[in-house]
Every structure is written in C-alpha cells, then in structure tokens.
Chain A
Amino acid sequence: MPEDQGVNGGRWTDEVSRLFKKAGWEKIADSNIDVPSVDGHQHGIDALFCYEDGFNPKMKQGVFLEAKRYSVNSFQKKKLNDWVHKLDEKIRKLRASQEFLETYPHITDVKLVNGVLAIWFHDLNLHPEFKDKFIQYLIDVDTPKGRGSKFINLRLFVIDNEKILRLASLLHTVEQWNKDKGENSLKFYYPSSARFGSPVQETSTLNLEYIFSQFVLAKAKTSKGNNEFEVTDVVFYFGRLDVNSFVRLREALLAYDMINQQNSLIIYKYIRQADEFRKIQPDVIKLFEDKYPKNVAIKDMETFNDLPTWMINE
C-alpha cells in the first residue's frame, strides 16, 4: 500500500500535531474527524488548529491539516496535484457550512483560510535524489486560479521532510533556551508594519509565514535580579553561509530593529558546513560587530536526521 493509512497514517497525524502544538498552535478538534460541509456531505479532516498570528493581532488563523505518510517509490506527481485541489475544495466547502460552524462555535473568530499538507516520506534516506524531483512536482502543480474578488484566497502549504525537520530543529532550540534561561523567556518577534497596520508583537507562537521563512526573529528576556531584565536579540537562520548572505541578513536585522547597542545578538544557524564556515566565521562576526550590538555570537541549532523523540512519544 503506497500511503500508510490506518494505524501508521493516524500515528503520523498525531506526530505532526505534536510539532505544531510545540509551535504554540491550539488543536481545535480530535484527529481524524468527519465534519459536515455545505454540500451536505461529511468531509474527513486529519486535524484542525488555530493560532494567534504575530503579524495580525486582530484575528486568529485557522489551519486545516492533512497528514500524509508516504513511500518515495510509490509517490507520483499527480497525487500532489490532487491533494492541493482537494484541500482547496474542502476548505472552501467547510468554511461556508453553517453546520460546521455550529459544531465548532469558537472558530467563528478564526480566519479559516489556511491548509497544511504535511507529507512524511518514511524512506527518504534511501533516496536523496528525490528532493529535486519533489520540488519539480511542487512547481508542476496546477494551482487553482481565480479572478479578482470573486473568490477568497486560500493559503495552502506543503511541508515535507526537510521543512518538518527544520521546524523541529527550531522548536527544539527554543525549548532548550527556555529550559536554560527560564520558561517563556524567548518570544518570537513580529516586527510592525505600517503598510499592514500591525503593531510589534512578541509571542510564543510561530506563524505560518515564519515556518516558511528563511530566518525567524526572536527576543529573549532574562532576569538580572532586582526586577531588571537583559534582552538578547535571537535569530534563527536557515539560509546559506557565504559572506554576502550574511551581509543581506545583517541588513534585514537592521531594518527590523534587531541590532541594538544594549543587547547581545545570537544567530543560530541551521546549515552546519563546519569546516568551510570556520574559515569565514571571524569575518561574519565582524560584519555584525560593525553595527555595534553589545556582542555577537553565532551558534548551531540542534539538527535531526529523523523525527525527534518528542514528536514520536506521546
């Protein structure tokens, strides 16, 4: 059987749900539920989440999760196209269903425009070349198109092994920080936007934009005693490690008030490339020191080759 259904499929839904819960998302309903849609039919959804959006304090974001556990060998391009289309259709029907809203009354305040397809290829280690093929499959999806305001836009996201492990790595690093420096001492930092009318927000929740961004900003407060706090600007960086990439990152940090003379700056990088990076590390540190933060450190995030135990174990 190409797709793991039944026990394995259900287990993967639970595992990936633990990942999103660690990102601060709230699970609205049990896993694998049937919900009534506007067409009178029941639609199965693997899980439904909502989260406080750091970029938009006015409304929570709702996320329909479809969890797929698959084998690389039996995966076909058409599958991905079908999943994207079905998820789009399903969300459109459910968000228009009175019965659905009545079943889950507290989602009336939630923006139901997001879907996540979390695909775990359980044999990926055997097929490293599949990664490029999968990107081509993503590109080849015929995204449902529309014209202007007639349809609402839905945001669908495909998260596969690489991004799942990357997210696990980020959340693990945050957890370690909080363990060492105090519960909730690190908060994700959402800069303000005059264009979108949102204020600066610091929350424990990671939104979808950050999950699909190449860097994530955070501020950590640690007590110095006497009710005084020390702030550390923390950046989780998933991009490449050449000097120009760090210049670009520095410019982003300056633009988003992440370099401050009073604060230390810590950059957690995801890509290791230890030997090559060691050669340029002093130059990279100097790039940031030139902008006068209190001090600069570049550290590595913990990385995973497989799902971390906190996703697997209940």
Chain B
Amino acid sequence: MSTVVLLAVTGLGLGGLYFLVASGLSLIYGLMRVLNFAHGAFLTLGAYVGYEFGTHVGSADSWPVFGLMLVVGTATGALFAFLTEVLLIRRLYEREIEQVLVTVGVGLGAVALVNGTWGADPRPLPAPGWMSRTTELLGARIPNNRLVCIAVGVTVLLGLLALLRFTRHGLIIRAGVENRAMVTALGIDVRRSFTAVFVIGGAAAGLGGVLAALYNGSVAPGMGDSLLIFAFIVVVIGGMGSITGSAVAALVVALLQQFTNYYAIAGLGDFTVVLALAVVLLVRPAGLFGRPA
C-alpha cells in the first residue's frame, strides 16, 4: 500500500512538471498552429538562471531565496519566450513550417549555449533542507519536493483556467483556438494574443525548470528536451489547445510511467506512454479533450 501511495504521489509530482511544460505548448499550438520546439529551452534557461541566482545570492537553502529562485526562473522563461516570439516567430507570420524550424534552431542553440556556459555535467540545485526530507502520508514516506511540484502544478492550472475564463485576453485566446480568422474578422488583433500565449507558456516552462531541477536534485543541459518529448505526448493525448486536457493527460502519462516502471520492467514506462499515444491517436485523433478538426 505504501508503495502504491509513493508511486502515485511521485507520479502526480511528475505530472505537475509535465503540465507546466504542456500547458504552454498546448495554448501556443492551439492558437498559432506552431509546434514550439524551443519550449524545452525556455525551461532549461529558467532552471539555469534560477540556479545561478540561487548559488550567487548565498544561502539558497533559505526559503525566501528559494522563493525568489522560482520567480527568477519564471521571469527568465517569460522573457526568453517573449523575445523568441517578437524577434523570430512574428517575422514568419503565416509561414508555419518556417516557424517550427526556427523554434528547433532556438532549442538547439539554447542547449549549446547552456552547455558552453555551464558545462555538460549536472549541477546540484541549492534548496531548503526541508525539500529533500520526507512527509509520511498513508504509511508512505513522500519526498517533500514532490508535494511542491503537485501544489505548484495545481496552482498554475487554476490560474490559467481563471485567466482564460475571466479576462478579455482569455476570451480572445479561447475564441482564437477555435477560429483564428473569425477573431480578426471581429476587429481584434489576434497577433497580440500570440505574444501573450508565448509569454504565459514561457513563464510556466521557466517555473517548471526550477521545479524540475528540484525534482531531479540538479540542473542539466538536457533537462528541457527530455521533458519536452513527454510534454508533446501529453498535449496530443489531452487535445491541442485544451488546458484541462493537458492537465488530465499529464497525470495519466506520469502515473502510467511510474507504475509501469515499478511493476513491470524499469524503462518500459516510456514505451507504455508511446503506446498510449498510439491508442489515443487511433481512437480519438483529436485527443481526449480536443475537438475533431
């Protein structure tokens, strides 16, 4: 029983990370039809700049400094995403293949930059000691950082849903995901929403970067891309453009991975996830919460 609880909570924590990456990807694709391969770079840069901040400000094991690390990571992701959209993506308006290619380039370049600056080896992330201790829950000893990932994931989910539901920006994004041309035909400049979804997605990814480093215990140049692959799978399973779909699919994918890796063969979890992707594509090609085109 305690094993099941541990696996479930760890899975939920991983699901939180997947969601932080997938939510932005899903909104960006839903609105702009761009698969953003630079999204992993937003995450990695958020993690590294957060890490730099934590190690230089001094006692990063203090709570306020850790809190600021999260803020710095979030801001880095948002800023980098903003620049990517304004300087590159926008110039390739309505050339979707070129847009995808340029995001691939940004992704590769950013990882090379991180490699060159900080080296290829993982570096331990400073964090309050409480993070690596455990809390007993239903007989299982749960690492506290898993609980943090879950809490942040849920908070971001609620925040995004509120943003989409209660603000004019959110209304335009929801409408644009359904029919972008018609939004412009109502007199609304939908390109401003493109920048908005990039910034929102980049912020969530940057925040996810610091949390992923907390989850793994370290920052590493490849951390963004390894999460990005599963985040893409999450987005497709959940349905492009649906935040709720991303949240549900993030949990399904993470839990499936955790339980398969433990109860079947370690490593089989990834394969199972790809299998789940194939099944969803065959049975519901638009994803669990997507609508057929």
The answer to whether A and B come from one shared complex is: no
Q: Which residues of B are interface residues toward A (Cβ below 8 A)?
A: none
Q: Which residues of A are interface residues toward B (Cβ below 8 A)?
A: none
